[in-house]
Amino acid sequence: MKVNFLASVSGVSFLCLLFGWSPVLAIGAIESGADNTQTQNFSQKAANLLNEASYKTSNDDYKSAALTLPSSSDSLQTTSKSSRPSAEIRLAQVTSVSQLSDVQPTDWAFAALQSLVERYGCIAGYPNSTYRGNRALTRYEFAAGLNACLDRVNELIATATSDLVTKQDLATLQKLQEEFSAELATLRGRVDALEARTSQLEANQFSTTTKLNGEVIIAAIGATGGAPDVDDPNIILTNRVRLNLTTSFTGKDSLITGLQAYNFLGGVDGSGSLQESLGLASPILSSSSARTSFEPQFPGVDPKTLTTIGANSIQLYKLLYIFPVADKLTLFAGTAAEVSDAFPAITPFYGEGQEAISRFASLNPVVRISGGTSGSGLASAAGFIFNISKQLDLRALYGSVNANLPAQTADTPLGAGVFGGSSVIAAQLTFRPSSSIDIGLNYANSYHSINILATGLTSSDIGALAGVDLATPLKLNSVGGTFTWRFSPNIALSGYGAAFFVDDSSETVDASTTFTSWMAGVHFNDLFRKGNNAGIIFGQPLYRTDASGAATLAAAGENRAVPYHLEAYYRFRVNDNISITPGAFVLFNPESNSNNDTTTVGVLRTTFTF
């Protein structure tokens, strides 16, 4: 059998072979209007092409298809099994030039393409059956194509028996191989390195279905002020560590499992907490307006059973499964969940480890009602997310605090059972009228087995109906709205308003009261340096504005006054995984009592993420 490979294919055909692997045709030395006579002298054309200024030799311009995929419409699946590019990436192989929709018989290189496709099988096209012959290519792409060509020539030589290739053709190939020796070596080296790294990752991967991420917060907290008869507390050093496992079984669902440990103290009576040292905490569970954003609502105690939790004890704070059931409908359910898992925060100040340093500034209080953001996955919950349109979505959930308990005892003040204990039905309608405006409207209907709001925001959270026994059950209706307006790429205005309507749910007591709260602030992105954020916040913490029946506006001995909160912080991003946030907030008339001194809480928070 006689095989005269290069003699039977013109110089253009040989170049098309290279371009067929990395489908490009147009090069500066070949004009689209050239006729076939311009392509007869293969050796001369090859030499001219190699010296074209349009070739790029910098490694920064390396665009080999073996390592860098095309645009999303041309995405390829790559599996590293060989160091040779021709085995690394295979575009859609064609057996007839007619399969290439953008190649016509009138094209100047049609004959060359036809020969290479139908005689040698060396041309590949894009998956959408196009060839894209007018694209430019780099020296690295040319080298990859040359390497593929050499493989094909070696295959022909190995299988043929006589008259293989002329000396002139072999000389041309040798010259091309020498010219591109550096690029070929780089290409093979990079693919070998990629193969080694891929093998190492496959051998040491954590899981094929689960991703692990974590957050570590270490913070120094100091405060001054508080009740008039207490000394300033010592500066404390606190930590909170969270590990989250996100597992997907279908690629669209998510099972979130979260573990945490912290060293905040408090317990049932609040002892050991910063708020108790300031004299601003509630008599039990240490609720206070002096609480930081990353502190759990019930530090040192499990409110379900009133059992003590030791410092840095490991807890399951999140167990939630989220799964789509239709294009616009997603369901979720879990035994350790928070309202903030399902409801968008809207405000840019939310981010316990990254943004606002106070609990007050982070979220609308309606989201926090009934322990909705306790920081310990207080409730079992189930709900849905309905994406009505790109601008509108509706989310709702039902949560029960003690769903795992069959009966209430003296040690379970929050009740028992899915429908028999403290519970909440919450909903949020999120509206985005434009790309720069977000609006969230919240409603919550709650039942509490005892006389608490369960927001953790002020000392009046415990004994919400002032003057009424703590064992009195409550029913609550809460409404709120949050907005954010990004009036420039780096500056946003954000705020919220909330109202809580609290009534007794007991046949022996007739009492009701109303709480209100609001906040407004300015958020800065990339302030002074990319990645650095800052915020200035002012507002009114929860405040009783009305009381009737057996309820009073203030506890005995308090001098009732409107409380205010002023906060500023600056987050400095050290790198992608470490940030440092100094900040402070000032409380005027803390806990709605003008007898208390103006209180300042300073925080230096360092956050590690991985």
Which tens digit of pLDDT belongs to each residue from 386-445? 999 999 999 999 999 888 888 777 778 888 778 888 899 999 999 999 999 999 999 999
Q: From 182, 90, 89, 173, select the one nearest 140 (Cα to Cα).
A: 182
For residue 510, which amino acid is it?
D
241 within 8 A of 216, measured Cβ to Cβ: yes
424 and 512 fall within a common domain: yes
Which of 188, 204, 220 is where one domain is finished?
204
Distances (CA, A) of 329 to 250, 254, 342, 425: 16, 15, 13, 19
Q: How many domains does the chain have?
A: 2
Q: How many C-alpha atoms does 356 have within 13 Å on its Cβ side?
A: 28
User: 47 and 9 in one domain?
Assistant: yes
Please, what's the largest Cα pairwise distance for the chain?
111
Kindly report each contact of residues 417-425 with a partner whose C-beta sits within 8 Å and lies 24 or more positions away, as own/partner: 418/380, 421/449, 422/370, 422/446, 422/447, 422/448, 422/449, 422/450, 422/454, 423/370, 423/398, 423/399, 423/447, 424/339, 424/369, 424/370, 424/372, 424/379, 424/398, 424/399, 425/396, 425/397, 425/398, 425/399
CA pair distance 84, 514, nearest whole angstrom: 74
The rounded mean pLDDT for the chain is 80
What number is the average pLDDT over the span 133-137? 73
User: What pLDDT, on a 0 to 100 scale, did the predictor assign at position 166?
Assistant: 61
Contacts of 559 (CB under 8 A, 6+ apart): 593, 594, 595
Q: Are residues 232 and 151 in the same domain?
A: no
Residues 240 and 315 in one domain: yes
Helix (H) / strand (E) element for 538: namely strand 533-549
Q: How many CB atoms lie within 10 A of CB 432?
A: 18
Structure confidence by residue, pLDDT tens digits, 45-55? 333 333 333 33
214 lies in the same domain as 150: no
Does one domain contain both 90 and 198? yes
Do 126 and 266 belong together in one domain?
no
- What does the pLDDT read at residue 402? 84
Q: What does the pLDDT read at residue 89?
A: 40
Last residue of a domain, one of 204, 225, 249: 204
What pLDDT does 48 receive?
39
Residues 152 and 233 in one domain: no
Other C-beta atoms closer than 10 Å to the C-beta of 233 total 18
User: Given this model, what pLDDT does residue 51 score?
Assistant: 39
Q: Are 261 and 218 in contact (CB under 8 A)?
A: no
Residue with the bigger pLDDT between 181 and 42: it is 181
Q: Do both 189 and 236 map to the same domain?
A: no
Of 204, 221, 238, the last residue of a domain is 204
> What is the domain extent for residue 285?
210-609
Cα separation, 501 vs 413, in Å, equals 22
Instruction: Classify 416 as helix, strand or coil.
Output: coil
pLDDT-wise least confident of 19-33, 207-221, 386-400, 473-487: 19-33
**Lookup: tokens for 34:** 């050239």
Q: What is the C-alpha to C-alpha distance for residues 429 and 604, in angstroms, rounded to an integer? A: 35
User: Within this chain, do residues 196 and 217 fall inside the same structural domain, yes or no?
Assistant: no
Is pLDDT of 83 > 50?
Answer: no
Token pair, residue 193, equals: 């390195």
More confident residue, 414 or 593: 593
Q: What percent of the chain has pLDDT over 70?
A: 78
Q: Tell me, what CATH number does 378's domain have?
A: 2.40.160.10
Q: Which residue has the tokens 């650095």?
A: 532
In angstroms, the CA 547 to CA 233 distance is: 34
C-alpha dihedral (28, 30, 33, 39), degrees to nearest 10: 170
Q: Same domain for 112 and 231?
A: no
Q: 431 and 392, same structural domain?
A: yes
Any idea how long the chain is? 610
Q: For 519-548, how does the pLDDT look when each residue is reduced to its tens digit (9 = 90+)?
A: 999 999 999 999 999 999 999 999 999 999
